[in-house]
Amino acid sequence: MITIGAYFAMVYFRGKRVTLFGNMDTLTRTHHFHKYNVSLVVLAVKIIVVISLYMLATNSIEVMKVQPKSTMEYVLIIDSSASMSSADLEPSRIAAAKTLSEKWLSIMPEATRIGLVSFAEGIESSIPVTSDKRVLLNELERINVD
């Protein structure tokens, strides 16, 4: 309703501006000009745009984000040796590695297959390549510096 009202107000005020700049009688006789020219096509397009924007803003229209499927397999390798307890990164290197690994896992497509290996002097833990991110995140939490 607001869109229709705004459209007719625009037409009305446009007509008032036209009369300031010319002789309406002459324009009407010579060019068949009408002060209040209503275009139903323009009104219909405006209504459709406003309704679409309203539906999008109120989540009446669902926009799906399509994530690509990866055909690659990855193995995430994390050093869990004593050098990772160094505080040159806040709070430690191992905490920074875990945080970045979690962020990387969160942006990877769901179908991506990822494995995890942590090592110090030898392999501390290992998760075979899987597409289940929960298993990887749980194992990331368990990794500690020896």
pLDDT computed for residue 62 by the predictor: 67
DSSP-based helix, strand, coil % in the chain, nearest 5: 50, 15, 35
Domain boundary among 57, 82, 99: 57
Same domain, 78 and 137: yes
Same domain, 35 and 88: no
Our measurement of the distance from residue 4's CA atom to the centroid of its chain's CA atoms, rounded to an integer in Å, reads 32
pLDDT computed for residue 128 by the predictor: 93
pLDDT tens digits in sequence order for the chain, 146 residues long: 777 777 777 777 766 655 555 566 666 666 666 555 667 787 788 888 888 887 777 776 666 666 666 778 999 999 988 888 887 888 888 899 999 999 999 888 888 899 999 998 888 888 999 989 999 999 999 988 86
Same domain, 48 and 20: yes
pLDDT computed for residue 135 by the predictor: 93
The number of distinct structural domains making up the chain is: 2
Burial of 92 (0-12, 13-18, 19+ CB in 10 A): middle
